[in-house]
């Protein structure tokens, strides 16, 4: 490969005791060895921090939070501390193929105009069963044309040049604890740099019901984050700017509140909506649990009861 630039790997971690060892091991076992792994435990309530600190590899560095900041702010903190010329990410409940860093870095070194490179991924369950594989667009033109209707990447599988942070900035704090920050951020990158995916499936994304994107019951506004980002990207495609970039956060918060109002005022409706969403995403056990929670709140709602029995009947299909 010639030059061996330092690659910084960012790993925010929260309540991932069941998975973080697999995540860290997948970095230690990389074929490319000139990396640093920056881990920040976000005040986990389980043994995440203790497990991480059991590693003595000098390339692993700890920057634990003293208060819970959430994924976005923790990511921004680690990105600012990264010393590598290139930065990649590894969520603490995911893992990656042993040649992931080598292949991503090789692409970026041989394509110097590329500011961000990702790969295809394999979606796995909490017990490592393969659920599906991605088949992303590979070229800058294909990726940008597809957005925002389709997001042809997964944020945690990206590698970026460090200079991207000084040019584009970090994750926008508007998305704090909402998810979706990487989609908006990557589109900003596409306006200044070429982006690409490589064909190999190098990242194993674990569907975690308690992650920011997986757990929608604690904040109904998160249901509409994708719709908001679609709107912002379409604004940028049309006008070159958007409401968030222009500082119209009051307008955006009002839009969020109006969208989420039916769910904020009716928890059973929220559970019922999410049960259907999770069922058709393929998360049938979670769909059953959510449908049951709706029935507990509104036991005489015939539609909730019908949904539950339909999900139960088709849980193995």
Q: Helices 181-192 and 225-239, interaxial angle, to 10°? A: 20
**Residue 242's pLDDT is what?**
96
d(CA 96, CA 2): 24
Separation CA 257–CA 270 (nearest Å): 14
pLDDT at 171: 97
Altogether, the residues listed in the chain come to a count of: 317
- pLDDT number for residue 298: 85
Whether pTM > 0.75 for this model: the answer is: yes
Query: Going by DSSP bridges, is the β-strand pair 35-41/7-13 parallel, antiparallel, or unpaired?
Result: parallel
Q: Percent helix, strand and coil across the chain, each rounded to 5?
A: 45, 15, 40
Say whether the peptide bond before residue 131 is cis (omega within 30 degrees of 0).
Answer: no
**Exposure on the CB side of residue 248, measured as CA atoms within 13 A:** 13
- Gap between the Cα atoms of 233 and 221, Å rounded: 19
Please tell me the distance from the alpha carbon of residue 39 to that of residue 198, in angstroms, as a whole number.
26
Tokens of 123: 């979606």
DSSP-assigned beta bridge partners for residue 203: 96, 121
Q: Which domains occur in the chain, in start order?
A: 7-206 (3.90.550.10), 223-313 (1.25.40)
Q: What pLDDT, on the 0 to 100 scale, is given for residue 248?
A: 95
For position 208, what pLDDT does the model report?
Answer: 56
- The tens-digit pLDDT sequence of the chain (317 residues) is 556 999 999 999 999 999 999 999 999 999 999 999 999 999 999 999 999 999 999 999 999 999 999 999 999 999 999 999 999 999 999 999 999 999 999 999 999 999 999 999 999 988 888 888 999 999 999 999 999 989 999 889 999 999 999 999 999 999 998 888 999 999 999 999 999 999 999 999 986 555 444 455 556 777 888 889 999 999 999 999 999 999 999 999 998 888 888 777 788 878 887 888 777 777 778 788 888 888 988 888 888 888 888 888 887 77
Q: What is the largest CA-CA distance in the chain?
A: 69
Q: Could you tell me if 297 and 275 are in contact, meaning their C-beta atoms sit under 8 angstroms apart? A: no
Provide φ and ψ at 123, rounded to 5°: -90, 125
Q: Cα–Cα distance between 253 and 185 in angstroms, integer?
A: 19
């Amino acid at each position: 490969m010639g030059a061996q630039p330092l690659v910084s790997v960012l790993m925010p971690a929260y309540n991932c005791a069941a998975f973080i060892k697999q995540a860290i091991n997948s970095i230690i076992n990389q074929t490319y060895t000139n990396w640093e792994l920056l881990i920040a435990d976000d005040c986990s309530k389980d043994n995440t921090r203790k497990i991480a600190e059991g590693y003595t590899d000098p390339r692993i560095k700890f920057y634990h939070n003293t208060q819970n900041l959430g994924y976005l702010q923790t990511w921004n903190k680690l990105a600012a501390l990264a010393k590598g010329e290139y930065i990649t990410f590894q969520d603490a409940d995911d893992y990656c193929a042993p040649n992931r860093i080598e292949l991503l870095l090789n692409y970026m070194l041989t394509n110097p105009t590329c500011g961000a490179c990702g790969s295809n991924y394999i979606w796995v369950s909490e017990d490592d069963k393969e659920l599906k594989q991605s088949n992303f667009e590979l070229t800058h033109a294909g990726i940008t044309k597809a957005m925002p209707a389709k997001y042809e990447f997964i944020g945690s599988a990206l590698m970026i040049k460090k200079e991207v942070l000084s040019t584009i900035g970090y994750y926008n704090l508007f998305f704090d604890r909402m998810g979706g920050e990487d989609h908006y951020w990557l589109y900003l990158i596409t306006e200044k740099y070429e982006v690409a995916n490589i064909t190999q499936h190098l990242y194993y994304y674990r569907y975690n019901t308690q992650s920011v994107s997986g757990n929608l019951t604690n904040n109904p506004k998160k249901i509409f984050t994708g719709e908001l980002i679609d709107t912002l990207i379409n604004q940028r495609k049309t006008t070159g700017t958007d409401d968030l970039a222009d500082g119209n956060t009051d307008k955006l918060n009002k839009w969020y509140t109006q969208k989420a109002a039916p769910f904020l005022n009716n928890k059973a409706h929220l559970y019922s909506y999410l049960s259907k969403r999770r069922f058709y995403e393929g998360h049938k056990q979670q769909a059953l649990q959510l449908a049951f929670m709706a029935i507990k709140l509104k036991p005489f709602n015939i539609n909730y009861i019908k949904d539950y029995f339909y999900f139960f009947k088709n849980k193995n299909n």
